[in-house]
Structure 1
Amino acid sequence: MAGYRDVLRTPGVARIIAAQLTARFPNGMTSLAILLHIHHVTGSYGSAGLVLAATSIGQAIAGPVTSRWMGVWGMRRVIATTLTVCAAAITTLALITVPLPVYMGLGVLIGLSTPPIQSAARTIYPKLVSARQLTPLFSLDASLQEIIWIVAPVLITFVATQVGTVPALLLIVVILVGGGTWFILSPEVGRVRIPRSRRSFGKVLTKLPVLLATVIGFLLIGACAAVEAGVVATFGQGGLEAGIVLALFSVGSLAGGLSFGKIPIGPWAMARRLAIVTVGLALTMFSLEVWWLGGTLVLAGIGIAPALAVLFAMTSASVKFSDTAEAFGWVGTGQLIGAAAGSAIAGFLIDGIGPQGAYIAATGFAAAGLLVAVALVRGFPDLRTRGVSPIPDTEPLQTVT
């Protein structure tokens, strides 16, 4: 833990991590709150699913677009604008009763205006710490984000069921605005300016490491989404066991991320970490007992955050600083599409063969990621002997804030 203490003592690091985690906390609440609210208003889970699908489409489109805009108009302006629109759209969805197509339109707007906090934070990190500290910082970031997925769904479900879905959505707005404002006003956000990229939009995907990070992120998060569907199908939405098992999955990821944080990242790092995930998920198919699923998902989880840390590090190290935000935006979009695909495929298999189908889907996603990592190992940068920082094209400018 000494390495993490050194990282957190670096001026600005603890503040940025705390601010971005707070600003991103609604990411673990919004989909569930929208699902519960639209079902409450319409009485249909199908309608709620359509609104969620519209929201996901908006998020997938927005990821690389709004991230790239930060190099044109600046981080603060883009984040403040998207934050304002997103908060207004969620508030409107909560307070008005309208036909389903209007709810879907609001869902698209919520997705399109999701503030690019994650891309901004991971673009700032290389300017806060030394190259030696950047790998542990990415590991710490990937690990701590598990707090969002452990606490946020429980909190928003409690508020929605015990107080109401409208207060739940308004609570999201309060956290979004508060956390986003904290992040925007952080001095580090004002000091780091992303240069305008000279490459055409999407050109960053021609960098093999960025493409690999996007594809493997799609497969890894697809596996996680299938697991979540499988656990809910196994124990029921209201089952205490479901919450415990999913919490163990996240705890395993948190522990793995902190344990692997200082291990140098070589070309085979991704394959080794995905092998842990694949083995753990494959073992889930032997039994659906709570103790077995809990243990196997702890094992699988140990590889999740370390694999995400590799994704972040290889993306950062493979592009110019002016392209980092867009690159992280594409990686995030891949993960969003993976979550939708994993949930959908798991759902079909659950309907066809039962909860076991979801774990088969999860294992398939993870195994596909492992095969990609092994087959294209030459495409993964060797970060054991070089820094994880982006390729410099200009230094950050000091700006008056």
Structure 2
Amino acid sequence: MRAYLSVWRLPSAPVLLVAGFAGRLPSAMVPLALLLMVQQQTGSYALAGLASATYGLAMASMAPVLGRLADRRTPRPVLLAQAAAHPLLLAVLVAVVLGGAPTVAVVAASAAAGAATPLVSGTVRALWSRVDPAVRPTAFALDATATELVFVAGPTAVAALTVLAGPAWAVGLAGGLAVLGAVGVATSRALRGWTPVVPAERTSPLATVLAPGMPRVLVSGSALMLGFGALEVAIPAFADEAGSPGLSGVLLALWSLGSVAGGLWFGARVVSVSLPRQYRWLLLGVTIGLAPLAAASDPWVLGALLFLGGTAIAPTLTVQNSLVGALAPAHATTEAFTWLSTVATGASAVGAALGGGLIEGRAGVSGSLLLAVAGAAVAVAVTLVPGRRRVARPAGEPVAV
């Protein structure tokens, strides 16, 4: 508990935790609310899925570009501009959908709103990477735990508002939360002390991705998220086959709550093992935790296994964030974290598509669950690939890679 109190007492920590949580909720709310809104309005799941996917892909692809700009100009002007543009573009999106506009207009409005999603997550993680190294792991653990809670609270809020008022109200709430989060982080005391670091020479757009150690973190993270995407599709399908489709939300919540429990436990520990070794062992723990899922035959057994297996997820993401913060060039910290979010979003989408195909084919739900295990196993294998032995940050913090 003392470890968490030490983080809470840092300047602007309460603002970063609360505003960061609020600013991340739209990422978990809008895609689902948009899917429900378009489906209700048009009756087409195909168009609804296209609009939701377009929003997510636009958000993921634009994030590194804006992250690079934020590193050059400080994140404040970028966040404030997005806080002004994002709710307006969400309002346009709602008007286009409810107004019965053609498919092209719906897709274009979805892309515009997604591209303007505030860079709250990347900025908050970049700020955590600048705190005292003694409390940094705990800060990242809190951040990973908050992210898990976002994907419990966000869909729950969308479901409640959809039943009570309609999915358009969920989109409106997401817009308000985006403004609250972006403005809160932009005006925080921590961001006021941000000084841009000018690179010694002109860098290519992919310089951050190719920084020593970064490719392996991004590739292993992509493999892991591909597996998670397959699992997120397999869980509702498992509940449906078991004759209890309503349990899918409970099962997903148990998975996330297991991750939250693991993250809180891990964040209070002092670990002397190097970050790359921690990352490798934790990925192995995720793989072992996912392995028994394919053998489950009852939803409640699956729920118990998901909770236990989920305990390794937030610790893994905590160490992953610590690695990215240590490996990223000093002038591109925000951009590095946005790349991590981008590859995670893309890989999760691919995993969901592959998992869905397996479920519809001969492999069935078990095939999608095995794909989740395979993704985590590949992530472990990637960390075993030899690379440069050591890289040092300008601040003098060496990190074994």
8 A Cα contact 2:258 2:306, kept in partner? yes
Matched, 1:119 2:125: no
Number of corresponding residues: 385
8 A Cα contact 2:11 2:189, kept in partner? no
Q: Please give the alpha-carbon distance, in whole angstroms, between the structure 2 residues aligned to 1:380 and 1:149.
A: 36
Matched, 1:371 2:381: yes
Partner amino acid, structure 1, of 2:151: W
**Residue 214 (structure 2) aligns with:** 210
Q: CA deviation at 1:113?
A: 1.3
Matched, 1:263 2:271: yes
Q: Please give the alpha-carbon distance, in whole angstroms, between the structure 1 residues aligned to 2:53 and 2:388.
A: 33
In the alignment, which of 316, 337, 345 is matched to residue 336 of structure 1?
345
Matched, 1:101 2:104: yes
8 A Cα contact 1:60 1:333, kept in partner? yes
Q: Please give the alpha-carbon distance, in whole angstroms, between the structure 1 residues aligned to 2:174 and 2:311.
A: 30
Q: Please give the alpha-carbon distance, in whole angstroms, between the structure 2 residues aligned to 1:40 and 1:156.
A: 14
Q: Deviations over 1:351-393 (max 9, x none)?
A: 11322222122111111111112334x56869xxx9xxx5349
The alpha-carbon distance between structure 1 residues 259 and 83, as it changes in their structure 2 partners (threshold 3 A), is same
Partner amino acid, structure 2, of 1:281: L
Q: Deviations over 1:40-68 (max 9, x none)?
A: 11111111111122122212211211001
Equivalences for 1:18-167 in 2 at 5 Å?
18-96=18-96, 97=99, 98-127=101-130, 129-167=131-169
8 A Cα contact 1:210 1:331, kept in partner? no
Q: Please give the alpha-carbon distance, in whole angstroms, between the structure 1 residues aligned to 2:127 and 2:339.
A: 17
**Residue 260 (structure 2) aligns with:** 254
Partner amino acid, structure 2, of 1:268: R
Equivalences for 1:178-327 in 2 at 5 Å?
178-197=180-199, 198=201, 199-236=203-240, 239-261=245-267, 262-266=270-274, 267-327=276-336
The alpha-carbon distance between structure 1 residues 379 and 147, as it changes in their structure 2 partners (threshold 3 A), is farther
The alpha-carbon distance between structure 1 residues 308 and 380, as it changes in their structure 2 partners (threshold 3 A), is farther
Q: Please give the alpha-carbon distance, in whole angstroms, between the structure 2 residues aligned to 1:65 and 1:22.
A: 23
The alpha-carbon distance between structure 1 residues 202 and 191, as it changes in their structure 2 partners (threshold 3 A), is same
Moved beyond 4 Å, runs of 4+: 378-382
Larger mean CA deviation between 10-19 and 232-241 belongs to 232-241
Q: Please give the alpha-carbon distance, in whole angstroms, between the structure 2 residues aligned to 1:288 and 1:94.
A: 41
The alpha-carbon distance between structure 1 residues 233 and 50, as it changes in their structure 2 partners (threshold 3 A), is same
Unaligned 5+ residue runs, structure 2? 397-401
8 A Cα contact 2:238 2:299, kept in partner? no
Counterpart secondary structure, 2:326? helix
Q: Please give the alpha-carbon distance, in whole angstroms, between the structure 1 residues aligned to 2:299 and 2:370.
A: 17
Q: CA deviation at 1:340?
A: 0.7
Counterpart secondary structure, 1:321? coil
Q: Deviations over 1:136-174 (max 9, x none)?
A: 211121112211011110111110133112212111112
- Superposition RMSD on alpha carbons, in Å? 2.1
Q: CA deviation at 1:286?
A: 0.4
Q: CA deviation at 1:90?
A: 1.2
Q: Please give the alpha-carbon distance, in whole angstroms, between the structure 2 residues aligned to 1:288 and 1:223.
A: 20
Counterpart secondary structure, 2:209? helix
8 A Cα contact 2:91 2:172, kept in partner? yes
The alpha-carbon distance between structure 1 residues 364 and 29, as it changes in their structure 2 partners (threshold 3 A), is same
**Residue 399 (structure 2) aligns with:** none
Aligned identity (percent) is: 27
The alpha-carbon distance between structure 1 residues 291 and 36, as it changes in their structure 2 partners (threshold 3 A), is same
Q: Please give the alpha-carbon distance, in whole angstroms, between the structure 2 residues aligned to 1:312 and 1:69.
A: 21
The alpha-carbon distance between structure 1 residues 380 and 63, as it changes in their structure 2 partners (threshold 3 A), is farther
**Residue 175 (structure 1) aligns with:** 177
Unaligned 5+ residue runs, structure 1? 394-401
Counterpart secondary structure, 1:11? coil
Q: CA deviation at 1:133?
A: 1.1
Q: Please give the alpha-carbon distance, in whole angstroms, between the structure 1 residues aligned to 2:251 and 2:315.
A: 20
Q: Please give the alpha-carbon distance, in whole angstroms, between the structure 2 residues aligned to 1:251 and 1:63.
A: 28
Counterpart secondary structure, 2:92? helix
Q: TM-score, normalised by structure 2?
A: 0.90
Q: Deviations over 1:291-327 (max 9, x none)?
A: 2211221222111111111111111112332111111
8 A Cα contact 2:19 2:184, kept in partner? yes
